[in-house]
Amino acid sequence: MRLLLISDLHANLEAFEAVMEAAPDYDMVANLGDVVGYNASPNEVCARSVALGGLFVRGNHDRACSGLTNTADFNPVAAISARWTQMRLTPEHLEWLRRLPKGPIRDNSLPDVEFVHGAPEDEDEYLLNVFGAEENFRMPGQADIIFFGHTHLQGGFLDERGKVHQFTPAYESVHGAVEFELRLQRGTRYLINPGSVGQPRDGDWRAAYALYESYNGDSGRVHFYRVPYDIDQAQERILSSSLPPRLAMRLRLGR
């Protein structure tokens, strides 16, 4: 099974299109949430996500932008963008976002794999360091591989018999489309973030995504990718809307 992993699309149509164009062959898609918020193409990105199908987990911005939760814990810019998004979403897309399932999600075709937006116990938790990862690895009943999003940081954590490490893909170039392969080991457990399609925050502006090749015997792999996209167009859409201009600036910085 080849599973395409996308997360935190955040209404960035240009980044989403570049990812889908560059993506290798896959059998199924998993979308780890935050389809909307921040960027300027919420309806287009919802429509493409619906058409793509697959497995979904809801994100905190999906809840806030569809009115399921308020924006009390959002910073001012995120709150403005959530209100902007809610006012523009079609009734169909608002309803679709409200119905996205809360993680953790499992799929029969992928035993020992779990999908969450933030973390297994708390959909809004940011898994940012080994301490948070360790706590999650220690919880009973967890899958061997957990795919998560929310931090907008590509990479993740592995638990080698109680020793927890953080890792980030080591790409050979900061230009063009790049790939990094992680070989999975039986007995090691993983928390893996494909990165953010629409608003990366690891200093690399290129859209991030990943592909999981499920275990065949003892060999499994995760391929991480970065792909450039039409960032000028994505920024132009933000600047010509009433969204805060700094949302356009941060795209270029990858922050």
- Residues 68-127 contacting Zn ion, CB under 5 A: none
CB of 224 to Zn ion, least distance (A): 18
Q: Which of 14, 34, 123, 204 binds Zn ion (CB under 5 A)?
A: 34
- Residues 185-214 contacting Zn ion, CB under 5 A: none
Contact predicate 65/97, CB 8 Å = yes
Residue 8 sits in the site that holds Zn ion (CB under 5 A): yes
Structure tokens at 103: 């993680």
| Residue closest to 214 by CA, chosen among 143, 145, 118 | 145
CB nearer Zn ion, residue 49 or residue 214? 49
| Residue closest to 98 by CA, chosen among 47, 61, 53 | 61
CB of 34 to Zn ion, least distance (A): 3
CB of 13 to Zn ion, least distance (A): 16
Contact predicate 57/100, CB 8 Å = yes
Long-range Cβ contacts of 65-70 (<8 Å, 24+ apart) = 65/36, 65/37, 65/89, 65/97, 66/94, 66/95, 66/97, 66/98, 67/94, 67/98, 68/97, 68/98
CB nearer Zn ion, residue 133 or residue 153? 153
- Residues 145-164 contacting Zn ion, CB under 5 A: none
Q: Which residue is nearest to Zn ion (CB)?
A: 34
Distance of alpha carbon 153 from alpha carbon 91, whole angstroms: 31
CB of 92 to Zn ion, least distance (A): 22
CB nearer Zn ion, residue 184 or residue 243? 243
CB of 199 to Zn ion, least distance (A): 7
CB nearer Zn ion, residue 34 or residue 202? 34
| Stretch of residues binding Zn ion (CB under 5 A), selected from 2-10, 17-25, 91-99, 175-183 | 2-10
| Tokens 């814990």 found at | 73
> Under the rule (CB under 5 A), what is the footprint of Zn ion?
8, 34
